[in-house]
Amino acid sequence: MSPMKTTAKHPWTRGKLYDQPYYAFSMKTRTWEPVGTAPARDETEPGLLGRLEVLSWNMDWTMPERLDRTKAIFEELHAHVERAARKLGMELPAANAAGGPAEHGRAAAIRALNIVIMLNEVVEWSIGRLKSLDWVRKHFYLTDINTSFWGCGLQGEGQYGTCILIPKTLLISSVGRIHYTASNCNHDALFVDISVVPAGNSASRLRRQRTLRLCSTQLDPYSYVLDDDRRKQLAEAAAHMHIADLAILGGDLKAVCAADRSLHSEQRLLDVYFECGGVEGYGATWGPTAGKKRRALNGMARADKVLFCGEGLFAKKFETYGHNIEVEDQEARSKLKNALQMDKGWVSEHLLIKATFIITPAQ
């Protein structure tokens, strides 16, 4: 992706956190509406303690056959949500013991699901597609329903940005962005603050409430000698992560040179890949599904990462998906293979990454 600047005026100031709304689909009005405050929850319900899955995927806005690729990407994400829900359903015998229909059991499982989806290089058309999906409307909040808060690229088809899907099981306290002080691409860091409340009815549970700060970002590309911009961008994001009790960052960090390998430790962040036994030099997330020419030119890179910090937050598992995910339409597959010299009709040059966390109570 080539660096792109825009001369458009925006209401935010670079380097400063800019608050924005998040959105829920209204069954009454059949539209996506801004949410002013987090919805109330039953005080007897458990808060976010236990398992959390974070998925991050760069949708590659410059690749051709965008409609078919977007459809396949969202179908794959839906499959992950359904698999996690089925697993929870098996662990929730009480929800199925009453003899209700299978659909009721699946719905109950999804309501208990803690799975966050972070997307890079989303464009206006794909946002429109995302808003139309029933599973998104029923079970997720969206940070963005248009391009209003994105500064990347040019107005219209050249504009892209980040978006996070947050399950309605989570208590959102705020959403905001930092548009990086230095970025040739006008990249940003998107933050969602989640209130982590221990289970139980005691008055002390609110005093033990913590904030989990989720962050989706994309750093500037294509510098094979680490420049100050990429280092400064991660430093800006990390500074706001450390303000929270717990924090998780996911995205395309464009980690293509040796110096990128230590950026997370410079910012006192942990890399899920390493925490789960990964070895440097392996685990490429860009390249396995790229075209032959671009792969030969740029090599393989572990460009996409999940980083985290905070006491009581532990990485349990790191996975990648996408090696066998292709667009469904045969004509679109052929066009992708011919245009990009791909071995298959892949949906993105980036793999989907998935990190599983365990969150334990504050001591």
HEC-encoded secondary structure of 152-188: ECCCCCCCEEEEEEEECCCEEEEEEEEECCCCCCCCE
pLDDT band, very low/low/confident/very high, at 338 (cuts 50, 70, 90): very high
> 147: which DSSP letter?
S
What residue type is assigned to position 144 of the chain?
D
Confidence at residue 197, expressed as pLDDT on a 0 to 100 scale: 75
Confidence at residue 92, expressed as pLDDT on a 0 to 100 scale: 32
- The set of residues, in sequence order, having a beta carbon less than 8 Å from that of 55 and lying 6+ positions away, is 77, 80, 115, 116, 117, 118, 250, 352, 353, 354
pTM of the predicted structure, to 2 decimals: 0.88
Predicted confidence (pLDDT) per residue in 19-67, tens digit:
999 999 999 999 999 996 444 444 434 445 578 999 999 999 889 999 9
Predicted confidence (pLDDT) per residue in 189-232, tens digit:
999 999 987 655 555 555 578 999 999 999 998 654 456 788 89
What residue type is assigned to position 339 of the chain?
A
The fourth-level CATH superfamily of domain 17-37+47-359 is: Endonuclease/exonuclease/phosphatase (3.60.10.10)
Asked whether residue 243 carries a pLDDT value surpassing 90, the answer given is yes
- Sorted by where each begins, the domain ranges of the chain are 17-37+47-359
| Distances in whole angstroms, Cα of residue 97 to Cα of each of 16, 20, 46, 362 | 51, 42, 21, 34
